[in-house]
């Protein structure tokens, strides 16, 4: 909430009193520079954000060494927070320009990729956007000035993201608790499918239990129009089968140790929502994200 209030203050800075502007300047002390002020002619939220994003890095030379990594990340995260209110074309143009300028300094490019991953892709990201993140990492995956292992890391992420875009038909093989093999494409027809991917972590266990007791989700499953398949990211074993037999009785259950390498499972537990043709409607949802989607009051 404090972060949102801070960004709102930046957006309306031109209308603040001198005292309020001084207070905001103090809050900017952890950042690299004061952010651009949108002129009064930018009358809408989108226009103001478009202006700020377009001019955000005007007074910062990304080609010179980044001396304060903490301040750079704080500043970058503020930059990203404006994305959600701006026009797509403005965001993408600004990102491409920033990456192009950073490519002259390998160390900066590495830092930019790392902070972009944390801000746009990783489990601690406040704003997930495949399109924006791909704009950052696609040049990094092919930049021969970067170490091979770094390029390979981003290339793997890029391949995973591209393989499961929204609208892509999802299909894979899994083994049920009885040891029988199935394919997603063989499941009976439904309006929607929810695929819950879990591992052996405490977070996955807690997430699975939360979903099993969610009233709104269970109401959807009881209609028969929605089915939930819980997939353990492990090889089949009798120990897993015994544990899986205690999962929610209105869930289908399976496992596969081949999916971590091919699907975009950036955070676990992780949920995918599919339509009746198994096309991806939403992906990489957290448990909280799924619960919010099925229960507006959540």
Residue 26: the pLDDT is 46
pLDDT confidence of residue 22:
43
Residue 294 and residue 290: Cα distance in Å, rounded? Answer: 6
How many CA within 13 A on the CB side of residue 18? 0
Q: Would you give the distance in Å from CA 8 to the centre of its chain?
A: 23
The count of other CB atoms within 10 Å of the CB of residue 190 is 17
Beta strands at 252-255 and 270-275: parallel, antiparallel or unpaired: unpaired
CB 189 within 8 A of CB 266: no
Helix, strand, coil share of the chain (percent; to 5) = 50, 15, 35
Instruction: Provide the pLDDT for residue 23.
Output: 45
- Going across the sheet that includes 280-285, the strands are 181-183, 173-176, 252-255, 226-232, 192-198, 270-275, 280-285
Compute mean pLDDT per 10 residues along the chain, 298 residues long, and list them.
55 48 50 90 93 95 92 94 94 96 93 94 83 94 92 93 91 95 91 94 93 91 92 96 91 95 89 94 88 75
Nearest to 256 by CA among 287, 232, 220: 232
Q: What is the pTM of this model?
A: 0.77
């Amino acid at each position: 909430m404090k972060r949102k209030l801070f960004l709102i203050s930046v957006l309306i800075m031109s209308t603040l009193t001198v005292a309020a502007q001084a207070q905001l300047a103090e809050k900017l002390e952890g950042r690299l520079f004061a952010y651009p002020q949108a002129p009064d002619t930018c009358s809408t939220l989108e226009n103001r954000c478009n202006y700020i994003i377009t001019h955000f890095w005007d007074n910062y030379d990304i080609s010179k060494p980044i001396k304060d990594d903490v301040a750079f990340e704080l500043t970058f995260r503020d930059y990203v927070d404006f994305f959600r209110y701006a026009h797509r074309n403005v965001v993408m143009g600004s990102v491409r320009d920033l990456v192009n300028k950073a490519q002259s300094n390998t160390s900066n490019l590495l830092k930019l990729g790392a902070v972009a991953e944390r801000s746009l892709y990783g489990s601690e990201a406040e704003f997930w956007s495949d399109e924006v993140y791909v704009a950052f990492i696609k040049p990094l995956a092919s930049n021969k000035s970067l170490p091979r292992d770094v390029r390979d890391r981003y290339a793997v992420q890029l391949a995973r993201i591209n393989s499961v875009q929204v609208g892509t038909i999802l299909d894979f093989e899994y083994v049920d608790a009885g040891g029988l093999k199935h394919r997603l494409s063989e499941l009976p027809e439904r309006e929607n499918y929810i695929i819950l991917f879990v591992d052996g972590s405490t977070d996955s266990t807690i997430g699975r239990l939360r979903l099993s007791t969610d009233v709104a989700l269970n109401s959807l499953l009881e209609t028969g129009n929605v089915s939930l398949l819980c997939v353990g990211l492990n090889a089949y074993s009798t120990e897993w089968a015994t544990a899986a037999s205690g999962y929610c009785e209105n869930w289908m259950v399976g496992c596969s140790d081949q999916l971590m390498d091919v699907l975009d499972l950036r955070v676990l537990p992780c949920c995918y929502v599919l339509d009746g043709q198994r096309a991806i409607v939403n992906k990489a949802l957290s448990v909280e994200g799924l619960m919010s989607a099925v229960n507006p009051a959540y």
